[in-house]
Amino acid sequence: MLDSETLQESRADGDEWLERCQYWQAAHDAAMPTRKRRERQSAPLILTGHGLSIRVDRGALMIRDGLTHFPQERRAHRFFKGGLDIPPRIVIVDGSGEITLDALDWLETQDTPLIRLRWDGRIQSVTGKPQYASDPEKVARQRQTRANEAARTAFGANLIRQKIEGTLENLETCFPVSDLRGRAMACAEEALAILESSPPQTVSELIGLEGKVSRAYFRTWRTTPIRWKARDLNAVPQDWLTYQSRSALRAKKVPSNRRATHPVNAMLNYAYGMLEIRTRIAIIADGYDPTIGIVHGDMRTDRDTFVFDKMEPGRPEADRRVLKMIAEGSFSAADFTVSQMGTVKVSPELARLIAT
Which tens digit of pLDDT belongs to each residue from 178-226? 999 999 999 999 999 999 999 999 999 999 999 999 999 999 999 998 9
Q: Are 306 and 282 in contact (CB under 8 A)?
A: no
Question: Does 210 count as an annotated binding residue?
Answer: yes
β-sheet bridge partners, residue 338: 344
Report CA-CA distances (Å) from 332 to 25, 233, 234, 237, 299: 35, 9, 11, 12, 37
Question: Does 296 count as an annotated binding residue?
Answer: yes
pLDDT at 37: 82
Helix (H) or strand (E) holding 231: none
Reported as a single tens digit per residue, the pLDDT across 133-170 is 788 899 999 999 999 999 999 999 999 999 999 999 99
Reported as a single tens digit per residue, the pLDDT across 285-311 is 899 999 999 998 754 556 789 999 999
Pick from 173-187, 233-247, 281-295, 320-334: least confident: 233-247
Whether pLDDT at 95 is above 90? no
Whether pLDDT at 79 is above 50? yes
DSSP for 309-354, please give it.
HHHGGGHHHHHHHHHHHHHH--B-GGGEEE-TT--EEE-HHHHHHH
Is the overall model pTM greater than 0.85, yes or no?
Answer: no
Alpha carbon distance 234, 239 (integer Å): 12
Question: Does 312 count as an annotated binding residue?
Answer: yes
Q: How many CB atoms lie within 10 A of CB 37?
A: 5
pLDDT at 299: 47
Alpha carbon distance 317, 307 (integer Å): 16
